[in-house]
Amino acid sequence: MRYKCMAKLNSVLEKALSFERINDEELLCLLEEKEGGRDIIHIADIKNQKINSNMVSFVVNRNINFTNICGLNCKFCGYKRTERSKDAFLLDYDRILEKISEGKKIGIDEICVTGGINPKLKPDYYFNLIKIVRDNFPDLHIHAFSPQEIFEISKTAGMSIEFVISKLVESGLNSMPGTAAEILAQETRGKICPEKINTDVWVEIIKTAHKMGIKTSATILFGHIESNLDIVYHLSLIRQIQDETNGFTEFITLPFISYKTSLRKKVDSTLVQDKVFKFYAILRLYLDNIKNIQTSWPKIGVPAALKSLECGVNDFGGTLMEENITKSAGGEFGEYLPEEQIKKLIGGAGKIPVRRDTLYNYIEFFNNDFI
């Protein structure tokens, strides 16, 4: 796939602002643009205001990473451990329920459950995990298992993807994270996570989930060895899937945290914040069929996450309570922001904080009296 950057920045920005779809060649032009970052951000901000007005949503949730033992070796990962590692863990169901009970004390609406690809885990561990959580917390939204995990269950159990998802849904699953996408341009994907499912399989699992009525997020791992053409391929594919299924609730950028990963040596420079801000803006302009663009405070820090609200972003993410994956790769921005603090931060940035559920139903709007 080859595109030439021939489009002029102003005409691309005009198109995006008038809600005309910009094409892949124009997307490449935005990605390659060196001087016009501020203009791109400005137009993305206006476009976001038109779509989401001044509202910035957040979710009160808890991450639960049930194991860090993993048989794969993704080069961008600082989280995985082998079974013999001193700090390897696998949570039993009681500990998972305990963690949810802790979360309930702060009023969580959602748990997000993912883990390493632990070769010892049988499919029943996954099915029973969902069932036990559902039995104990009937109203909780269970957002669990990436396409990689769904694939592993299907492979080990000898069940079709569709059957695995339907069994999980029967047990109580509500939605799935669209992680394990990393970068969907296969050649680069093969370099950074050679043992992961390939792009075709990722797409098949996501589309199967969407067609069964299970919503997912969409993600990208950004700022490693990917080229702009790789990004064009990735975003174009995400947009095509959304045209077909309308199953993505949000787009989440995962800026690459390199410090404790083997990919670090291959990456030219540390990802600078301005590049991330411009990328958020480009997402708002290009992904015209995904309403929600989420920032990532654990990866870029709270001040940068607040600044991203002026770059086309309309969602602040979640309270999280714990965040092991970024922390293990060297992230230093913490793992818990209480709801009250998130509301103050969003309000302090001149926006209206809105508590939402996982599927972006707005639950409560807050005025700024509490700031």
Binding mask 88-127 for ligand SF4 (x = CB under 6 A): ----------------------------xx----------
Stretch that binds ligand SF4, among 77-85, 211-219, 225-233, 293-301 (CB under 6 A): 77-85
Which of the ranges 72-80, 278-286, 296-304, 309-317 carries the binding residues for ligand SF4, by CB under 6 A?
72-80
Interior angle at CA 215, CA 110 and CA 133, nearest 5: 35
Distance CA 109, CA 62 (A): 9
How would you label 255-266 residue by residue, b for 16+ Cβ within 10 Å and e otherwise? bbbbeebebbee
Shortest spacing between CB 69 and ligand SF4, in angstroms: 9
One-character DSSP codes across 103-131: HHHTT-SEEEEE----TT--HHHHHHHHH
State which of residues 13, 16, 63, 80 lies at the interface with ligand SF4 (CB under 6 A): 80
Tell which positions 142-201 bind ligand SF4, by CB under 6 A.
148, 193
Backbone φ and ψ of 353, nearest 5°:
-70, 135
Binding of residue 263 to ligand SF4 (CB under 6 A): no
Least distance in Å: CB of 324 to ligand SF4? 10
Q: Is 74 in the site for ligand SF4 (CB under 6 A)?
A: yes
The encoded tokens of residue 201 equal: 């399989």
Identify residue 305 by its one-letter amino acid code. Answer: A
Segments in the chain forming alpha helices (H) = 9-17, 24-32, 37-52, 93-105, 123-136, 147-157, 161-171, 186-192, 199-211, 228-245, 273-286, 297-300, 302-308, 324-328, 339-348
CB-CB contact of 80 with 116 (8 Å): yes
Among 41, 60, 70, 161, binds ligand SF4 (CB under 6 A): 70
Instruction: Say how many CA atoms lie within 13 Å of 197 toward its Cβ.
Output: 23
In the complex, what is the shortest distance from the CB of residue 80 to ligand SF4, in angstroms, rounded to a whole number? 4
Question: Is the Cβ–Cβ distance between 109 and 103 less than 8 Å?
Answer: no
Which of 11, 73 has the CB closer to ligand SF4? 73
Q: Among residues 9, 72, 132, 159, which is the contact residue for ligand SF4, using CB under 6 A?
A: 72
Position among 12, 13, 22, 77 found at the interface with ligand SF4 (CB under 6 A): 77
Q: Which of positions 198-257 make contact with ligand SF4 (CB under 6 A)?
A: none
Selected from 79, 145, 151, 279, the binder of ligand SF4 by CB under 6 A is 79
Site residues for ligand SF4 per CB under 6 A = 70, 72-74, 77, 79-80, 116-117, 148, 193
